[in-house]
Structure 1
Amino acid sequence: MTDSPNQPAAVDERIKERSPLREALIRPELGGIMGTAIVFVLFLLFASDSGMFNSQGILNWSQVSAQFMIIAVGACLLMIAGEFDLSVGSMIGFCGMMIAIFSVTMGWPVWLAIIVTFALCIAIGALNGFIVIRTGLPSFIVTLAFLFILRGFTIYLPQTLERKTIIGGVKDAAEGDWLAAIFGGKILTGLFQWMGDAGIIATFERGSNIGKPVVDGLPMLIVWAIVLIIFGHILLTRTKFGNWIFASGGDAEAARNSGVPVNRVKILMFMFTAFCACVFATCQVMEFGSAGADRGLLKEFEAIIAVVIGGALLTGGYGSVIGAALGALIFGVVQQGLFFAGVESSLFRVFLGVILLFAVILNTYIRRIITGER
């Protein structure tokens, strides 16, 4: 006999219903959301009177956070794909130095120097990925080697060409350059002037700048961070390629058997990580008007920490660009907040260690929930 039309459909016993609490716990952004809320509450209590949350203070920690966000987006996608890139910090220094050498030492137009440098660094990122794929070596080892190679060239080249490790004059060379403005300019200046005139944000009360807003525009560094976060989030959550990234990091062999081009995905993620490092470096060079051989030190570890705080698993296959952005926001707020609160800045490293340990413990617990491990 067939079932009656009015009879309720049988429930497959193999399907387990998830409670709303469990659904919330396995969200990769959970740690980043909790950390962000705690950090903001603490600094609202202890540093609200120091100017941390006026227009200038917000700009300060927003710019620092944006720096972390730019490299965290690339590191996040690569980690979800199951790989690491420890050469990010050295790539930042190398990229900035090559832009300075091409534009100042060799006299190239800045736009050409930027394009050639991006192409060179992205090619190095592809080489990283190619070596990892072809040799089967851990990406930790391969990119550690490139950390030293790139840092060595970053020191050797300016010493050989200029007899120094800092090359200035980039800002003068970039004057009026169309591509330099995309990395070192500001937008919405009219809006900020209107807010200053309306008394919404502070303005200068003395000197030649009287009446001008203290914050006169949105730096392109922040714009780039927002654009990359949106791009990374959409790529990861709304496209087939995003599913490939998760599959490549979750179980590469099963992904290959399902038709996922795992090798191509991983190489492209190494290239995207190099691209993000170049964006960071170019914005930094345009801001300071110079390139230094020590730029980007330890940034690779800070990017990874931001991603882990944001909920990504070190084993790959799980994570969130939004979570990584929140981890980077925590970095920027704490780094500047300690200054505003009058706390010794060296404690920032202590904070990093504590929050990293907390994030790893939380992420391990989440992984056990997902996999059903005990």
Structure 2
Amino acid sequence: MSLNQAAQAAPALPEKAGEQQEPSLLARTVRRPEFGALIGAVAVYLFFVVTASDAGFTSVAGTASWLDTAAELGVVATPVALLLIAGEFDLSIGSTVGATSVIVAIGSGTYTMPQWVSIPLALGFGLLVGLVNGVVATRTKLPSFIVTLASSLVVGGGALGISRALSGSTAVTLTPEPSVQAVFGSKEGQFQVSIVWWLAITVLAWWVLTRTRTGSWIYATGGAPDVARDAGVPTARVKIGLFMATSAGAALVGVLQTISYSGGDVTRGSSFIFNGVIAAVIGGVLLQGGYGSAIGVLLGTATYGIVSLGIFYTGWNTDYAQLFLGALLLVAVLANNYFRKLALGGR
């Protein structure tokens, strides 16, 4: 079996010579990992256009509200998706968001460290968490679910205790410096700068997956790891790098939140633990690994933002947002498996 076949998930799989005619453009489009996510995003958006446009959902303020929500989630959901494609899972992102948030807030707010020093320190901490997760998971062969659950407890508990010891609270205020505010907390009208970070990270992920050898390695590592290793793919190194990227994304969210909200909070990242995975799955990523795309995750994250804020504009009980997301998740899993079978020629 070749490495391309081992990946089982690259957006366009080669046909065996002489067996089939070249598929049409429509057939190739339907087989794309992001096709189902596109249909879902359009359908959900149109639903709220019909039910909530009079309440301002399609206004500039309404559009900004769901885009800002999606952007913050997308910063971490994109690397989470790449890690899922490689067949691994990370539960420590929520604790990493909270820990990096208070690192910046305590370092610069309590101890007057320059913010351009505390922010790289926080990002470096995120990379360290990812490195530890990756090394432990690959060397012990323990399920990444267990490894990152343990690191989540360690990081979260440590951050909680240290925050109380150093500042006397789990929430610490901070006045952002103007240059830091411009990069991590500025707005254009009602659109936050996190949208730019989200799009930049999506473009980077798309380029890695579709234009580099590393992208092929990621698909192969998740699609058929034994075959990938036999073909010379450094699967352990790929996974460690993706664990580090995921934790770095979580750390960046912690920084963005700290600057945007003028303070850090240990508990702030709890919602990201599963929301990143939900956005990735809605975007076409398989939990089994080996299948997905960066554009699909962009659409899945947008869908999450639309549902989360769209319910508010309808005037319905916001508890129904969870109902919508649960239904979307189930439909997305079924659709992902269906489109993957199409991509593999019905197998």
By the TM > 0.5 criterion, same fold? yes
- Aligned ranges 1:1-374 → 2 under 5 Å: 13-15=18-20, 18=23, 22-168=27-173, 170=174, 172=175, 174-176=176-178, 178-186=179-187, 215=189, 218-371=191-344
SS of 1:295 mapped into structure 2: helix
Residue type at the aligned position of 1:51: G
CA deviation map 1:272-331 (0-9, x unaligned): 111111111111111111111210113121111111111111111110111011111011
Calculate the TM-score normalised by the size of structure 1.
0.84
**Residues 214-261 of structure 1, C-alpha deviation per residue, up to 9 Å, x if partnerless?**
x26x42111101111111111111111111111111112211222221
* C-alpha distance in structure 2 between counterparts of 1:152 and 1:181, whole Å: 32
Cα separation, partners in 2 of 1:55 and 1:12, compared to 1, 3 Å: closer
Larger radius of gyration: 1
Distance 1:12 1:96 in 2: 54
What code does the residue aligned with 1:162 have? S
Q: What amino acid does structure 1 have at the position aligned with 2:136?
A: I
Give 3-state SS (helix, strand or coil) of 2:267's partner. Answer: coil
Tell me if the contact between 1:110 and 1:180 (Cα under 8 Å) persists in the aligned partners.
no
Question: How far apart, in 2, do the equivalents of 1:22 and 1:62 lie?
Answer: 31
Q: Matched residue of 2:269: which SS?
A: coil
Q: Is the 8 A contact 1:111 1:180 kept in 2?
A: no
- Secondary structure of the residue aligned to 1:47 is helix
How far is the alpha carbon of 1:86 from its aligned partner?
A: 1.0
TM-score (norm 2): 0.91
CA distance in 1, matches of 2:41, 2:102: 34
Please state whether the residue corresponding to 1:361 is helix, strand or coil.
Answer: helix
**Aligned-residue offset at 1:133:** 0.7
**What percent of counterpart residues are identical?**
37
Q: Which amino acid aligns with 2:335?
A: L
Structure 1: state its 5+ residue gaps: 1-10, 190-214
Distance between the aligned counterparts of 2:200 and 2:77, measured in 1?
A: 13
Amino acid at match of 2:263: S
Q: How far did residue 22 of structure 1 move?
A: 4.3
CA shift digits 1:306-364 (9 cap, x unpaired): 11111111111110111011111011111111111101111111111111111111122
The question of whether the paired residues in 1 share the 8 Å contact of 2:32 and 2:343 is answered with no
CA RMSD of aligned residues (A): 1.8
| Aligned match of 1:202 | none
- Give the Å deviation of 1:116: 0.9
Query: How much does 1:17 deviate?
Result: 5.1
Structure 2 SS opposite 1:354: helix
Contact 1:93–1:294 (CA under 8 A) maintained in structure 2: yes
* Displacement after TM superposition at 1:20 (Å): 5.1
Following superposition, the deviation at residue 154 of structure 1 comes to 2.5
1:69 touches 1:328 (CA, 8 Å); kept in 2?
Answer: yes
Counterpart-to-counterpart distance in 1, 2:217 and 2:17: 29
CA contact under 8 A between 2:106 and 2:167: conserved in structure 1? no
- State the distance in 1 between where 2:343 and 2:111 align: 55
Q: CA deviation at 1:30?
A: 1.6
Code of the residue aligned with 2:276 in structure 1: it is: A
The letter for the 2-side match of 1:363 is N
Where does the alignment leave 5 or more consecutive residues of structure 2 unmatched? 1-15
